[in-house]
Chain A
């Protein structure tokens, strides 16, 4: 079968000695860079891009791809240990990973992250193998109205994922959407909510927002009490491994996460960020004990991490076959390919199958490498937690400041991150869920664009959302979700 030929070819390419070497290099570098709070995938890939000039193009992408998920894993490490996401997709891991670390289960969290990532990558690959071209076709049926409806579903899911208050969740989504609008409107060129500040004309940087709201606010909260509140981490080899119960509770979330991730990765324009959020939200809905989320639920990291990696795998479909990158990182990888003389497009699988399949197999190999590398390293990372927080937190603060600066080499961003830190602290004090804000922020430009286009196409007629079967289904699911949650909340409240 053609697919198994592809698999064979990919294996040959990816397991060749030098491919392995580049993969190892990329993964290791990515991981080390990703662990540093505030430095994310984009920074890492931009740093290494020049190295790829003059390299064989297969090796170049293998290395860059390795940097990509290596950085993601490193970012998850920072999220779990320090509540400082390296980039947005890792932000979801903070929600349950950090509480797990506070309970002394950091090693388990880190280990399960690696396993879940490997699982997701493999699942994504299988999906790819069996439906590669089919997915591309299906993805093309998603027009602006469908995307808009999908965004809406994702946002409502994110808003309702906090077990507390839907109004607060939805309000935070709105706030995030509004913050995302700050800056120059692409379509009309109007400067919105910049109040004359030149530094805002490009909008608020996501990294600045996320690091301030998650990381700095955490520093503020913990600076005084961290050592008393934190259980000493268990560092033995055995503590990394999940016990049977934990394994059992992770299987289904891993599958669900991988399915969600494969879906969002394949859609051009959406990627691992929304995949990880939606997957987390899905878990909170599906779980029989939703109150555990946010307090160290293992499913809360297994599902998003699996989704993450599955999304990366399937995101290569639109990137390689349609030339449409799923997110900024894919765009960079695409750029690297083009620089190296490779033309992505529908003919790529036919003309250059070794690149296509080679990259996909190397993703799995890379995740295996990550797993192996990290078994000893997890001990190192968790030992860092043994350092008394009073010495650690100023370092974290400085990292946040530098990370904010390097987003656009702008000192102003450091002031912003301080401001967001304060805002983040305020939100925690008021009991407001932060994750919906981040997702709203990330999706805001896309939501506006797709809404605009949908309305433009339909001539102002909102019926377009209902006429398309995909869009109508998505909207129906959104509505049902909302209704169900509200009803459950109403029924629950007398009991409370």
Chain B
């Protein structure tokens, strides 16, 4: 039961989500077959998902596949970049874009600071031009 099994992890994920959806969905009206309530489909789908999850686990045990290497660095910096953008977007597109691009660029460890900053400046310029001037996206520039 080594955790390095793709199928196993995926299956467990499905089972957990499926059960959660079904159980959580019971707070609404299930309704009858004639008049499906809001809970009908969620509960049915949730159980089906959990059932399929069992199938995926079995497959995973029969034909184990190892997990590929996880790009933690990329994961962290790209998400951080997007979140920085989200936090600053309303304050000014220019700040948001520049900082977000800068942060995200760290996903690539082999660049120099200068090229990162330059690239971010160019990106900011492009974005400001195309999205705000060109397409009228509703965000304050500065």
Contact = CB atoms under 8 A, between A and B. Distances in A.
B20 to A, nearest CB: 10
Contact of B18 (A174, A188, A190, A447): A174
Given A171-B14, A394-B100, A411 B89 contact: yes
A398 B101 contact: yes
Given A168-B56, A220-B71, A417-B82, A394 B120 contact: yes
Given A168-B10, A398-B123, A223 B18 contact: no
B65 to A, nearest CB: 6
Contacts of B119: 390-391, 394
Contacts of B42: 178, 181, 192-193
Nearest to A38: B131
Contacts of B17: 175, 178
Given A174-B45, A181-B41, A405-B139, A430 B78 contact: no
Interface in B23-64: 24-25, 28-29, 32-38, 41-42, 45-46, 48-49, 52-53, 55-56, 59, 63
A401 B68 contact: no
B38 A414 contact: no
Interface stretch (A52-60, A233-241, A292-300, A450-458): A450-458
A460 interface: yes
A394 B115 CA distance: 13
A171 B49 contact: yes
A36 B135 CA distance: 11
A431 B65 contact: yes
A223 to B, nearest CB: 4
A461 B33 CA distance: 8
A275 interface: no
Interface stretch (A16-24, A421-429, A466-474): A421-429
Interface in B72-97: 73-75, 77-79, 81-83, 85-86, 89-90, 97
Given A174-B45, A430-B13, A193 B34 contact: no
A47 B10 contact: no
SS class of chain B's interface: helix, strand, loop or mixed? helix
Interface string A205-223: 0000000000010011101
Contacts of A398: 85, 97, 100-101, 104, 123, 127
A171 B90 contact: no
Given A190-B38, A429-B67, A429-B68, A177 B45 contact: yes
Contacts of A447: 41
A12 interface: no
Contacts of B36: 448, 451-452, 455
Contacts of B65: 431
Given A171-B52, A397-B81, A432-B10, A221 B35 contact: no
Contact of B101 (A167, A168, A185, A395): A395
A462 B33 CA distance: 9
Interface of B: 6-7, 9-10, 13-14, 17-18, 21, 24-25, 28-29, 32-38, 41-42, 45-46, 48-49, 52-53, 55-56, 59, 63, 65, 67-68, 70-71, 73-75, 77-79, 81-83, 85-86, 89-90, 97, 100-102, 104-105, 107-111, 115, 119-120, 122-123, 126-127, 130-131, 135-139
